[in-house]
Amino acid sequence: MYLAKFFHRPPGDDDRELLLIPGGNPMIIGIHMQTEGAPEKDDFLREEYPSIEDAVATYRRLVAETVAAGYFETAHTDYTLRNLLPDPRAKLDWQKGLDDLMLTALSAPLDEQARHLAALKGTPAEHEPLYLWLAAHHGYAADTDNTQTIHFAEQARKTFAARRVSKTSHYCWSIRETDLEARNCEALSWAQLRADDPAAALDAIDQAWKIAPTQDRGVQRATILCLHFPDRQEEAFDLAYSWHMHGGYEDIMALPAYAEYVARRKAKPKSDKGWRWATKKPDSTDDVQAAENDLGMTLPRDYRKFLMAYGQTELQVRLPEHSGELCFYRASNLDRQRKNLFDFITMTDTDLSEVVPYFRSQYGVSLHHLVPVAEPAQESRCLLIHLEPGDKFGWCFQWDHDGAWELEHPTTSFDAALKELMAGIETRDTSMLSFLGVYID
């Protein structure tokens, strides 16, 4: 998590950023903004603090001193910015209030957090996902009305979804949207467990894990599966087997059934196919139609059938010493993934007159019509489908962010891409396995 405040003082040749990095060793970095062509300047501050309380107190003091020196805080939130010109706008008071609430949540007692939450009631801040998550987080930590805690977290989740549909922005300071959304789902999962609703708790932590997987979220997911869903216990054992070296899975690994699972897995013959499907969450016909409306494109027949039979699911690689998952998106997520892909590919070169013709000449496809349908867990790769009508309608490609302008392993249909993937797992093809995040000697 990065928390950045930007400050402007006309004429703008000494604009500044104060960056707070929470964590085990909290740090504050003071950065000089750069006007175009000006010589680079070293950071004016870079210091670690013994506790988050010390770091936040210092951060607040530095903000006040900067304002007293004639600067005003701008509305910028991207912590990677290095130039605020030409026309920086002042940050709104309710946004500053949300920033202060975030700092309070990191460093202050629960009663002080409650006062900050109450102070923002009746302002635009109370409708923002950042406020709703912090309200839910506070409610859970204070063990107050759990129904209200769930309400806050559910409202944040609905707000994220609604604003994506309406393409409306929200204010989350310099916290990445995916990070904030995953943190909210994690808090919701804990509150649903307190409400004795393990199905809702699992749904929430599943969403958090898919958005931004972490060790703690994997442990929470595995624990819920073990304690409340005995028919899915092996999924918990899969997680423990793959990630136990990072800690947190000790209770699961102590179960007699886990030892049996390990012995069974290691005894699998080399001829074992090595893959299986996880729990399926099929999309409805209406879901698929809505996705096509959002995309403004028709989906190929084989992929439509897959969505209505499998939907959001995983193709799981399970070899004696290796694991991996290819995570398929639900239909409602396709348009968002298409935008993410397009934005990433054009991020370093926004001249569409170059990048769009490149994909056309090199691969015979339209960049605008490439849609991610699945991604290997914890890998910055995805399986793409091409939806432009014509000779390559329905073709699939593998894509990796390290080669953003490269499309690999073309197949003529979605069904063909699946068959190639499964055949690659069965034959232990290193190229196909590496795409799935499984690396064998």
pLDDT at site 213? 85
- Does 36 have pLDDT greater than 70? no
- Does 348 have pLDDT greater than 70? no
pLDDT at site 350? 57
Give the count of alpha carbons within 13 A of 438, CB side only.
Answer: 26
Q: What Å distances lie between residue 441 and 244, 409, 428, 429, CA to CA?
A: 21, 22, 10, 11
The domain over range 92-213 is classified in CATH as 1.25.40: yes
For residue 314, what pLDDT band results from cuts at 50, 70 and 90? very high
The whole-chain average pLDDT of the chain stands at 93
Per-residue pLDDT of 365-410, as tens digits, reads 999 999 999 999 878 899 999 999 999 999 999 999 989 899 999 9
pLDDT at site 270? 76
Least confident of 60-74, 78-92, 172-186: 78-92
**pTM > 0.85:** no
Residue with tokens 């894990």: 209
Q: What is the mean pLDDT of residues 317-333?
A: 91
What is Dmax (Cα atoms) for the chain? Answer: 72
pLDDT at site 186? 97
CATH number of 285-435: 3.40.1580.10
pLDDT at site 52? 96
Domain locations in the chain as residue ranges: 3-91, 92-213, 215-267, 285-435
Per-residue pLDDT of 109-167, as tens digits, reads 999 999 999 999 999 999 999 999 999 999 999 998 999 999 999 999 999 989 887 88
Per-residue pLDDT of 219-248, as tens digits, reads 999 999 999 999 999 989 999 998 888 899
374 has which bridge partners?
328, 383
